[in-house]
Each structure stands twice: as C-alpha cells, then as structure tokens.
A and B are shown apart, each in its own frame.
Chain A
Amino acid sequence: ETGVTQTPRHLVMGMTNKKSLKCEQHLGHNAMYWYKQSAKKPLELMFVYSLEERVENNSVPSRFSPECPNSSHLFLHLHTLQPEDSALYLCASSQGVSNEQFFGPGTRLTVL
C-alpha cells in the first residue's frame, strides 16, 4: 500500500452505535489530520496531530474522539452520532504542519 489509506470506505451506523474510522499513512510523515466534508459546507478541519501530539479543536463535539497511537496511524472513534454527522471523513498527512497534505480517499459515513 502506498500513500494514505482509510477504512472502511463506507459506513452506515445507528445513532446509538460505536464505531471507529482508521487511517494509515505510508509516507513517513509526522503530522496527520481529520477533516469532515459535507454537502453544504466547506472542508472542515477537525483534528491535527503533530509528532503524535494532538492540537486541540474545541469546536468539535465530544462524540468524535481521535486517537493517534503512532505517527503512521490515526483513528476517529465515533459514538452517539447524529444524522447531521453524515458526511465524508477525510484523513490527511504531511511532513511538518502547514506543508503539502496528502489525503486519503475518505470514509463515507451515514448516520441513521
């Protein structure tokens, strides 16, 4: 595998479920990101990890919980989501923050 991979590519979950999105980068980068892309809004940056240290974003609801166990892996844990959380969730990585980001293909999430 090369680049940035995301699994699953599609996910349907109920509002009471708990699920996790996984991202893996094979580029040796030291920063990773989670974005949300919904139909009516621009790309929204949710979380940033630099050197495995999380940079806080207080505007993201606590029902989204990120985890970065090492520089190659990033997870987004989901629980008690709302239908308005349905969107494409994109992971990206870069070598140094603010530099060129490489995006994965995204996970299309539908919350019923």
Chain B
Amino acid sequence: LAKTTQPISMDSYEGQEVNITCSHNNIATNDYITWYQQFPSQGPRFIIQGYKTKVTNEVASLFIPADRKSSTLSLPRVSLSDTAVYYCLVGAIYSGAGSYQLTFGKGTKLSVIP
C-alpha cells in the first residue's frame, strides 16, 4: 500500500495561495493521486485528480513531479470558506482482479485567517 504523509495543519491568510504537499514514496505504477476536501459533519468532496505532471481545474491545481513520489495541491487565493480538512488519496482499484488499494492520508487541517 502506498502510505501517504501530509502536514497535520496549516494556517493561511485570506487571498493567499496555499500549497499542501503529500508524500507517497511507495506509489505504484497504476496509482492515481486524488485530493478531497472535507467540512465538519459532511462527507469528503472531490477537488482534483492526476497521474503525472500538472492538472488544473476551476478550483485548484495539482503538481506531480516526474518521480511521482509526492504531489502538491495548490489553492489560489483562499477564502474563509476554504477552511477544511484536505485529504490526499493514492491508489487504484482493480475490480477485475478482485483487489484494491486506496490509501487516504491523515489529512491537513487548513485554517484560513481573515
């Protein structure tokens, strides 16, 4: 299993760019990297997914170096509503083979300060 490591917490001021890095040294060839956001008393919400290089959508960017042993979620110009826990997920499911490997990190609690 690809174990992931993230910072436990981060603070940022409103309007700043926030970068959260996840380490996954044992990532496998078939593994994808996915980031989720979770607010209290809610289920996680998908942010972005990638395999290599850079992926960008309307809310975030995901940077993955060539060796894929880490990934960085970048949130541009955060607001108070971005205060949440952010999870890095590494793995893939091989339903045909009857096995799966999905490893969530412990999450990074981001606090956005006015």
Contact = CB atoms under 8 A, between A and B. Distances in A.
Contacts of A43: 44, 87, 104
Given A55-B98, A57-B100, A48 B93 contact: yes
A98 to B, nearest CB: 5
A66 interface: no
A interface residue count range (under 10 / 10 to 19 / 20 to 34 / 35 or more): 20 to 34
B46 A101 contact: yes
Contacts of B106: 42
Given A42-B105, A55-B93, A102 B100 contact: no
A105 B41 CA distance: 7
Interface string B93-104: 101001110111
Nearest to B93: A97
B49 interface: yes
Interface of B: 32, 34, 36, 41-46, 49, 87, 91-93, 95, 98-100, 102-107
21 contacts: A4-B43, A31-B93, A31-B95, A42-B103, A42-B106, A42-B107, A43-B44, A45-B104, A48-B100, A55-B99, A55-B100, A90-B44, A97-B95, A100-B34, A100-B46, A101-B46, A102-B46, A103-B43, A103-B45, A104-B43, A105-B41
